[in-house]
Chain A
Amino acid sequence: MSIQEEIHKAMKDLSNSSKKGGESHMLSSEDFSLLLLTSLIEDEGENVKN
């Protein structure tokens, strides 16, 4: 699985967990690291080597 596919899957899992847990779903440091990584990719997508 490529890094892009891995990130896509991890974000989908995080989104599903958040939906199940509703407003009480607490995010871990690893979740926030994933969100930071995704956000940085959005900001600087052209620098990511596919």
Chain B
Amino acid sequence: MSKTKIAIVQLTRIGDVIQTFQAAKQLKLDHPGTSLTLIARRDMAHGLDFLLSEVFDNIFYLDIRDFISHKDSKLKDCLGSISEYIEKINGLELDLLVNLSFNKSSSYLATLINAKNKMGIRRNEVNQLAIHDKWSQYVYSSIMNSTLNPFNLVDIFKYTLGAKTYEPSYVESPRENKIIVHPFASTRKKRWGTHKWVDLLHKALKDNPGFDLHIVGAKNDEQDALKLVEAPALQEFSHRIHNETGLNSIEQTHALLSRAKLLVCHDSMVSHLAAVTQTPTVVLSLGTVRPAETTPYQHNVLNIAPRRSCFPCQAETACELLPCHKDISHQMAGQIVSAILQEQTLDRSFFEKEVSPFYLNSVSVFAPHFSEMGMELIDITEAAQTADDAFKAFYRIIWSFYLRGVDAAYPLPNLSPESASTLYEHQKGCSNLFELYGFGMKYSKSIIEEAKKNEPKVSKIQEYIAKLSEVDQLASLTKGTYPHLKPIIDFFFVNKANASGNNIIEITESNLLSFHEARNLTQIMFDLINKTVGPSLQNSSVKDNSNDSKKDVEV
């Protein structure tokens, strides 16, 4: 029997390539007979060759310099080079192509490559974006546009690829008294300034005299690393600080991490590399970072994140004062670093006894928990959850049920009064949405009935299509009033836009199913909110409210 041949397109950054490697490794463990091919940008993946070759049978690097080789290149030759590149991949006769990146280039590449089946974004023959599998529709609608995704990216990649098991195996290995520090990140929003790092490193070195500190980073981080090592406050420890910024290859950094007892960093490629080496890691999440999505996929990680309504922010949101940077105190981060190095248990009693409530009020300290639901983050300070936390928990239940068929039992969240109030408000949104999707079903059925008649009236069908358009517009307005319902609304908008079918009846039947599923998920969301905010606030169901809702929704 011949091997199943799968190719993965991953055209984003190094961290995403590492996360793809982690998911693909699991797939290979589950299905050792599968032949795996990776297509990635050369500058993002070549440095990871030593890892990628463990899992991938073939690697195709993408580099524009291979297509436009010199200044006198002609377009015909460039297109010819692209065609040769594609032909080489097509020579593999792929069974499945999975595009795990969601950018324009990857959509064109996935269109050009032949495969018996395709997943992820690509283009149809008239250059419209096409996303046919539900996990990719989920990523496109929820990850690209919302901060309420509860799943780790590695889990999403695994689910998309069909990897069965979920828990990374842990192998204990001997480690030296080294602390690795990667105090850099791709944007200013995602990283502390030098002075905060100086304060943290001073505390870590002072409290842990038996440890040396290694600073790692890329060539373009060298200036910032110098500011750090030359800081007057750190001079007394200079003999214990090793600045390796710009000196190490990724493979050398991987080897260093393999021997170290701890990595302290922001969200970055190095944090994901430490997940591969299973190095205990403390991540300081700031700015646009979404801990649920990007926490390094391993057991030994703590992710410290601000508890602030504007966190995580959007990349395009301007922010000069960076208040979330002040939410994480260097004192508390230093206490956590020392506790890990001294092998203390970090649980609620540790935080109650050792850490000032003043520092804890503004942060969550997340630890991973692996289960059938994938990697979940648990706030080990056990503080009351925010409305965002609660909705992420609900969405974990809803999407696991809908996309994976996993019926999960999950403890209802412990809410602050403000969060309970936000949830309560969203019950009304659920009622409106439930009714809107009911109208969607009604008009979809009307289109199907009319189209199946011997002499269908086009004007009738157009009238019903206009009604469906109104349903979409009103659902979009609902997002503005009830932003926590955005993931359901956006998912089903994308799902309907990619409805399968070759004629109006088949496409409308797909849409009818979408409206039906959307309505069911809205009902589940209502029930989850109702159970959580409890009898003290409200004790009714969506159906009970539907008469009241009709006052607000008219289609």
Report which A residues bind B (CB closer than 8 A). Answer: 2-3, 6-7, 10, 18, 23-27, 29-37, 39-44, 47-50
- Given known A7-B75, A10-B75, A29-B83, contact A37–B112 (CB-CB < 8 A): no
Contact B78 A3 (CB under 8 A): yes
Contact A49 B75 (CB under 8 A): no
Further contacts, 7 of them, CB under 8 A, given A35-B127, A36-B108: A3-B68, A26-B125, A27-B125, A32-B111, A40-B64, A42-B104, A48-B68
B contact residues around A49 at 8 Å (CB): 68, 70-71
Give residues of chain B (50-94) contacting chain A, Cβ–Cβ below 8 Å. 62, 64-65, 67-68, 70-75, 78-79, 82-83, 86
* Chain A residue with the shortest CB-CB distance to B122: A32
**Bound state CA distance, A36 and B105, in angstroms?**
6
A contact residues around B70 at 8 Å (CB): 49
B contact residues around A32 at 8 Å (CB): 108, 111-112, 123
A contact residues around B125 at 8 Å (CB): 26-27
B contact residues around A37 at 8 Å (CB): 64, 67-68, 78-79, 82
Contact A26 B126 (CB under 8 A): yes
* Total residue contacts A-B, CB cutoff 8 A: 75
A-B contacts, 6 of them at CB < 8 A, read A26-B125, A30-B79, A33-B83, A33-B112, A34-B79, A37-B78
0 or 1 for each of B126-143: is its CB under 8 Å from A? (1 = yes): 110000000000000000
Nearest CB on A from B225, distance (A): 24
0 or 1 for each of B284-305: is its CB under 8 Å from A? (1 = yes): 0000000000000000000000
B contact residues around A3 at 8 Å (CB): 68, 71-75, 78
**Bound state CA distance, A7 and B77, in angstroms?**
12
A contact residues around B127 at 8 Å (CB): 18, 27, 31, 35
Q: 7 smallest A-B Cβ distances: which pairs?
A: A36-B108, A6-B75, A39-B105, A33-B82, A40-B64, A39-B104, A26-B125
Contact B74 A6 (CB under 8 A): yes
B474 within 8 Å of A (CB atoms): no
Partner pick for B67 among A6, A23, A40, CB 8 A cutoff? A40
Report which B residues bind A (CB closer than 8 A). Answer: 62, 64-65, 67-68, 70-75, 78-79, 82-83, 86, 103-105, 108-109, 111-112, 123, 125-127
A contact residues around B67 at 8 Å (CB): 37, 40
A contact residues around B64 at 8 Å (CB): 37, 40-41, 43-44, 47-48
Partner pick for B82 among A6, A7, A36, CB 8 A cutoff? A36
B contact residues around A39 at 8 Å (CB): 103-105, 108
Q: Which secondary structure dominates chain B's binding surface?
A: helix
* Chain B residue with the shortest CB-CB distance to A45: B64
Nearest CB on B from A45, distance (A): 9
- Given known A6-B75, A32-B112, A36-B112, contact A24–B105 (CB-CB < 8 A): no
- Given known A24-B126, A27-B125, A44-B64, contact A50–B71 (CB-CB < 8 A): yes
Partner pick for A29 among B65, B104, B112, CB 8 A cutoff? B112
Contact A36 B126 (CB under 8 A): no
- Which of A2, A32, A49 gathers most chain B CB within 10 Å? A32
- Which of B75, B86, B126 gathers most chain A CB within 10 Å? B75
**Bound state CA distance, A16 and B83, in angstroms?**
24
* Chain B residue with the shortest CB-CB distance to A21: B126
A contact residues around B104 at 8 Å (CB): 39, 42
Contact B74 A33 (CB under 8 A): no
**Bound state CA distance, A27 and B122, in angstroms?**
13
**Bound state CA distance, A22 and B56, in angstroms?**
42
Contact B126 A27 (CB under 8 A): yes
A contact residues around B78 at 8 Å (CB): 3, 37
* Chain A residue with the shortest CB-CB distance to B109: A36
Contact B75 A47 (CB under 8 A): no
Nearest CB on A from B339, distance (A): 43
Contact B108 A35 (CB under 8 A): yes
* Chain B residue with the shortest CB-CB distance to A28: B125
- Given known A3-B73, A40-B105, contact A33–B126 (CB-CB < 8 A): no
B contact residues around A27 at 8 Å (CB): 123, 125-127
**Bound state CA distance, A48 and B73, in angstroms?**
11
B contact residues around A35 at 8 Å (CB): 108, 127
**Bound state CA distance, A30 and B111, in angstroms?**
12
A contact residues around B79 at 8 Å (CB): 30, 33-34, 37
- Which of B82, B83, B103 gathers most chain A CB within 10 Å? B82
Nearest CB on B from A37, distance (A): 6
Nearest CB on B from A18, distance (A): 7
A contact residues around B68 at 8 Å (CB): 3, 37, 41, 48-49
**Bound state CA distance, A7 and B111, in angstroms?**
20
Nearest CB on A from B3, distance (A): 27
Nearest CB on B from A29, distance (A): 6
Nearest CB on A from B492, distance (A): 23
* Chain A residue with the shortest CB-CB distance to B68: A48
A contact residues around B123 at 8 Å (CB): 27, 32
Contact A43 B103 (CB under 8 A): yes
* Chain B residue with the shortest CB-CB distance to A7: B75
B contact residues around A25 at 8 Å (CB): 126
* Chain A residue with the shortest CB-CB distance to B75: A6
- Which of A6, A10, A36 gathers most chain B CB within 10 Å? A36
B contact residues around A42 at 8 Å (CB): 104
